[in-house]
Amino acid sequence: MNILYFLVGCSLFMALVFLLAFFWASKTGQHEDTCTPAIRMLLDDELKKTDEDQVQD
């Protein structure tokens, strides 16, 4: 059963990693605006030279 000591340590460590990841996310403001990114991902980043043609179609 000695393996349990190791596993307990592992599980605590993993949970700590997730906790720290959450801290990092909240510190970098990833929870601040939850609405705009959802819209932003639908927009094209790169500008196409043919924008005008598309409009006229």
Partner 1 sequence: MKTPDPTTTSCYHCGEETDGRTLRSDGKTFCCQGCQSVYEILRSNELCSYYTYNAAPGKNRQSSEIPAYLADARIAATLLDYQDDHLSKVTFFVPGIHCSSCIWLLEGLHRLNPGILHSRTDFLKREVKISFDHRVVNLKEVADTLAAVGYPPLINLQDVVRENHSKTDDTLVRKIAVAGFCVGNVMLFSFPEYFGLSPFEGNLKVLFSYLNLALSIPVVFYCGRDFFTSALAGIRQAKMNLDAPLALIISTLFLRTLFEVVFQTGPGFADTLTGLVFLLLMGRYTRQRSYRHLSFNRDYRSYFPLAVTTINEGAERVTAVSDLQTGDRIRIRSGELVPADALLLQGAACLDMSFVTGESAPVTRSSGTVIYAGARQTAGPIELEILKPVQLSYLMSLWNDAGEPANGKSRSFNDRIAAAFSLVVVTLAVGAAAFWYAAGDQAKAWSAFTAVIIVACPCVLALSTPFTLSAVLSVFDKWGFYLKNTDAAEQLANCNEVVFDKTGTLTTSKGRRVNFSMSLTMGERQLLTALAACSLHPVSRQLCREAAFLKLIPVEDYKEVPGRGISGTVAGHQVCIGNADWVFGADDQSAGTHLLIDGAYKGSFSFSADWREGIAKLAAALAETAGIHVLSGDTAKDRQTLKKILPPGTRMRFGASPHAKLDYIASLQQAGRKVIMLGDGLNDAGALRQSDFGIAVTEDVNAFSPGCHAIMKADALAYLPRFAGLASDAMRIIKWSFVISSLYNCLGLYFAVQGTLYPLVAAVLMPLSTLTIVIFTSTAVRICAAKRRLSL
Catalog residues that contact partner 1 under the rule CB under 8 A.
1, 4-5, 8, 11-12, 15-16, 18-19, 22-23, 26-27, 31-33, 35-36, 39-40, 42-44, 47-49, 51-52, 54-55, 57
Helix and strand counts by DSSP (H, E) for the chain:
3, 0
State the minimum distance, in angstroms, from the CB of residue 48 to partner 1. 7
Cα 11 from chain centroid (whole Å): 23
Q: List the structure tokens of 38.
A: 């959802």
State the minimum distance, in angstroms, from the CB of residue 51 to partner 1. 4
Q: List the structure tokens of 5.
A: 């000591």
